[in-house]
Structure 1
Amino acid sequence: MRDFVPCLGHHAVRVAGSACSGSSISSERPPQSTVSCCYRAALSTHNELLNKVTWHKNNRDTSVLVVIEENPGAGVSDPRGTTCQLLMRKKGSQSFAIGNSEFALHWDISAATYGAGAEPTRDFYLVMMADKVFVLLLGDMWREFIKKFEDKVLVAASSMYSRREQVFGATLYSTKAQFHDGGKDHEIMVRCKGDETDAKDAELYVCVDRKRLLHVKRVMWNFRGNQTIFVDGSAIDVLWDVHDWWFRGSPSGATFMFRARSALASRPWSEEELAKRASQFTLLIQAFKSK
């Protein structure tokens, strides 16, 4: 399935966490999960800054990858200008330059608490500055961190415009998403009932805030499709593709996409809209079978 909302970038800083205790080591690929969030920040120079933060977690370790693209509207950056640095500390700072801009990345995931997914839930911060302006503020501890700065703190307007979650072995999966800036966090649950041995009776459910809004019967014949649901009065287009989950072996998977429809969009999944960096929030969930 094509990645409908790419978050491209050529400058990356990778932060590696420590191994998790009590995990058994297997010769097979360990169960893992990945969450990628794309953020857009408006700079005072009227340029746009796109940041992609990818949290990765498996049985042995956790890591986070930060990708930065400055002023994407000006054209595609030269990939030969890529910078990538592996930082072994779970707490630290890193300064670097991209073009004419100076960046500083500060993080502390040393005591981070994790839930079922790859993204930490509390007790951490990850912040980034571009030319002394904060362009990324993540975690529940960033406010305490920026109190250390004596000068007036400048914060750029920013928002998350896409989120991609990759999980292994899940037939029942739940997450949270905010479809509009400043809106409510909604609990989204996707459930696949049945398997390849009984695909004719397989069913697919999508619930938002524990209310079933989508029910696909006879998945054997309806393994791909799209439907519009309404959340808080706004249209959310839902696309699913579960063909490979039922009809192919491991590591095939299923794809679910949720996209807040623009008030100006007359139909879902418009090629014109998808060709751009989405102005409306998009959630992509990819579930893969474990070996």
Structure 2
Amino acid sequence: MSHELVEAAPFSIPKSPSAEKVCQEQETDKAAPQSAITFVYQAKLAELYCNVTATWCKNHTSHSLCITMEKPCQNNQCCTCKIDLNSCQFWGKKGLKSFEVDGRRVDVYWDFRQAKFSSTPEPCSDYYVALVSKQEVVLLLGDLMEDAYKRTRSRASSEEAKLMYKKENLSGKRLFCTKAMLEEGKKEHDIVIETSLSGPDEPEMWISIDGTVAIRIMNLYWRFRGNETVMLNDVPVEIFWDVHDWLFSSLGTSHGFFIFKPCRLDGDYSSGSPSQYNSPKGSSSSTRGFCHFLYAWKTE
């Protein structure tokens, strides 16, 4: 068992990841392997509300999960637990680490021995990661819930952790595939962004949800930045895009930026780096304040 306390930047809504390394993997025209996915939750630790960030990363040489826990009002202090998913030893895929948040001990349990993966850094099934404090599971990731509760000998938290936003980096040529939580209590929806930027016709872009084209943007030279609201099973979803750099910058030097959010977006996103977003007044739904931020890097 180890104790780790690491200083990090204070919590904030994600900015442009231009300084972050994007995984250099071989791409095909059909798929864009995801190199980094970040989920940010709000979890209740006793009477203390904390932000928990879970980042899954994968490239040619490494595959890891990094969990960071911090108080929203705390400056330059957080606790981090990093799990190596590339471990070739069977026993290394199950473990336990501990740290302290504001004097409270938090245990991180995980089991990836049977985990199934696809092209994304995040497992598809058969795993769990549990954050436990004082015999309460304050955050549980994965589908092996019974195994997690049995191993930790803990009960569910009195207040379920809420997903605040998801951020990811994708790289590809013409297609960018992702998943987004657009309806509370339901599975993530499949989203595909397809582009046609070269050829005799004007550049175009299509955004599809679950195989159906939701938005078609023609003449991107004039509509490289914009937003539209689409209806998904009677739920309004705001979609914002900014692909200026796809058209006017060198490939691989910058990214297209997208936001997918149930209900109405507030705030100024014109810079491509959202600084804040607000939920409609009176809304208590966990997905009402949820945003999916996507940074799409075009390759040759």
Compute the TM-score of the two structures, normalised by the length of structure 1: 0.77
Higher percent of residues as strand? 1
Separation of aligned partners in 1, 2:203 and 2:78: 46
Match of 1:69 in 2: 70
Q: Tell me by how many angstroms 1:134 deviates.
A: 0.7
Match of 2:188 in 1: 185
> Out of 238, 245, 258, which is 1:256 matched to?
258
1:97 aligns with 2:91: no
Taking only the aligned residue pairs, the percentage that are identical comes to 24
Q: Residues 204-260 of structure 1: CA distance to partner in whole angstroms, max 9, x if unpaired? A: 111112111111001121111111111121211111011112221123211111111
Q: 1:61 to 1:200 in 2, by over 3 A?
A: same
Separation of aligned partners in 1, 2:40 and 2:278: 10
> Out of 4, 7, 30, which is 2:24 matched to?
30
SS in 2 for 1:120: coil
Compute the TM-score of the two structures, normalised by the length of structure 2: 0.75
Q: Tell me by how many angstroms 1:147 deviates.
A: 1.6
Q: Tell me by how many angstroms 1:192 deviates.
A: 1.4
User: Structure 2: which amino acid aligns with 1:163?
Assistant: K
RMSD of the alignment, in Å?
A: 2.8
1:280 aligns with 2:277: no
Separation of aligned partners in 1, 2:277 and 2:240: 18
Q: Residues 24-50 of structure 1: CA distance to partner in whole angstroms, max 9, x if unpaired? A: xxxx962261111111224552x3222
Does the 8 Å contact 2:267/2:278 carry over to 1? no
Separation of aligned partners in 2, 1:163 and 1:235: 19
Separation of aligned partners in 2, 1:129 and 1:199: 58
1:6 aligns with 2:7: no
Q: 1:133 to 1:271 in 2, by over 3 A?
A: farther
Say how many residue pairs are matched.
254
Does the 8 Å contact 1:164/1:284 carry over to 2? yes
What does 1:196-275 align with in structure 2 at a 5 Å threshold?
Answer: 198=199, 201-249=202-250, 250-261=252-263, 268-271=265-268, 275=276
Q: 1:125 to 1:174 in 2, by over 3 A?
A: same
Question: Which runs of no fewer than 5 residues in structure 2 stay unpaired?
Answer: 1-11, 16-21, 26-33, 85-91, 280-287
Does the 8 Å contact 1:180/1:281 carry over to 2? no
Separation of aligned partners in 2, 1:29 and 1:158: 30
Q: 1:110 to 1:160 in 2, by over 3 A?
A: same
